[in-house]
Amino acid sequence: MDTNHSRRQLAAMKQSLFDQGLLDEQFIQLEELQDDANPNFVEEIVTLHYRDSSRLISSIEQALKERNLDFNKLDTLMHQFKGSSSSIGAKKVKAECNLFREYCRAGNAEGCMRSFQQLKKEHAALRKKLEAYFQVSRV
Amino acid sequence: MDSNGVVSWPRMPENMDAFALSPEQSQEVHVLAVDDSLVDRKVIERLLKVLACKVTAVDSGLRALQLLGLLDEQKMASETFVGLKVDLIITDYCMPGMTGYELLKKIKESSTFKETPVVIMSSENVLPRIDRCLEEGAEDFIVKPVKLSDVKRLKDYMTTKEVRGESQDREGNNYKRKLLDTSDVSPSSPPSISSSTLPSSPSVIDSPIRRLKMTSTD
């Protein structure tokens, strides 16, 4: 009974994440790689992603504090961030990354800062939601 | 370097048995994966393992060359690497230090590994980049994020190659020609490609080799 309930809850949570445009097909791809021997693969990958991306966020934050922004450096950092986000299927975060990179290429400092704030919000929000999701998946 | 010719490096992977030095072990496909992103390395590793490949994943072109025995200072000790079995090298394009393209060139210039298929992965769908890599001898180009179907296609290609043996020329040519061939569409990889975001060249559209991701937000 309990497992059925949590399974349904899990499915509903996942559907919601998709409906909100937060996750894309890549997340499903990762789930399909799970098996009895590797039941927590997605959670492991997501954990690695958040470790990596936190580091990148700090680097970007530092870089944005510079007097004269180094747009190349910012773009490179964001490219890494985007790649990692894309690999876990973080759809909305990935879109924010693209926006940030457009501002970099346009040399638009204010645009960069604005989109970065938004990106951090999305990144944190998804993290919370995924944490809740994995919590239910472990029940 | 030891005087008895055995080359040991501080950070060799634990699974050295993947580099099959004996014929009995050479049944499994061994893939060398190169990517500076830890997340991507873990994903590609899992994808390959699901397809029963042995994987060695490294984080840079330099480390890949080191493992293959292709760094300049290693070339003198190349005898030690005879029998090193790598069936496929799959590498990210954008990496700090040495790019995947540079790694590709070094591999294709080597006498030991120039026949080894090299596949490039990139999150960026840049046609000149794809062309450059294929011209330099890359077997295929995969747009990230990498899916199981991408890796499966590569494995099928390698298995088919072994089975076909000497008809490699036809196989090899087919792949390179596929870029320009609009009629040759593989049934196993349906080109579900919409034309809305395509570049002007129509001959590129039908090429399954390119895995142009038309639905991505790129």
Give the distance from residue A117's alpha carbon to the nearest chain B alpha carbon, in angstroms.
Answer: 20
pTM, rounded to two decimals: 0.77
Q: Quick: pLDDT tens for A65-104.
A: 999 999 999 999 999 999 999 999 999 999 999 999 999 9
- Chain B partners of A45 at a C-beta cutoff of 8 Å? 39, 42-43
Q: Quick: pLDDT tens for A1-31.
A: 578 888 999 999 999 999 999 999 999 999 9
Q: Quick: pLDDT tens for A113-139.
A: 999 999 999 999 999 999 999 999 987
Instruction: Calculate the average pLDDT of chain B.
Output: 73
Q: What percent of chain B has pLDDT over 70?
A: 55
> Domains along chain B?
30-158 (3.40.50.2300)
Q: Residue B186: what pLDDT?
A: 43
- Return d(Cα B109, Cα A75) in angstroms, integer: 32
Length of chain A: 139
Average pLDDT (B45-63) is 96
Give the distance from residue B112's alpha carbon to the nearest chain A alpha carbon, in angstroms.
Answer: 32
The least confident of B39-43, B44-48, B112-116 is B112-116
Q: Quick: pLDDT tens for B93-132.
A: 999 999 999 999 999 999 999 999 999 999 988 999 999 9
The least confident of A35-39, A59-63, B157-161 is B157-161
CATH class of A2-138: mainly alpha
Asked if A29 and B42 come within 8 Å (Cβ–Cβ), the reply is no
- Return d(Cα A137, Cα A7) in angstroms, integer: 7
Residue A90 β-bridge partners: A23
**Cβ pairs A/B, distance under 8 A:** 52
- Return d(Cα B26, Cα B87) in angstroms, integer: 10
Q: Quick: pLDDT tens for B144-183.
A: 999 999 999 998 767 655 555 544 444 444 344 334 334 4
Q: Residue B52: what pLDDT?
A: 93
In chain A, domain spans: 2-138
Q: What share of chain B is helix, strand, coil (3-state, %, to 5)?
A: 45, 10, 45
Asked if A33 and B46 come within 8 Å (Cβ–Cβ), the reply is yes
Residue B63 corresponds to which amino acid?
Answer: R
Residue B178 β-bridge partners: none
Asked if B37 and A87 come within 8 Å (Cβ–Cβ), the reply is yes
Q: B63: pLDDT confidence band, cut at 50, 70 and 90?
A: very high
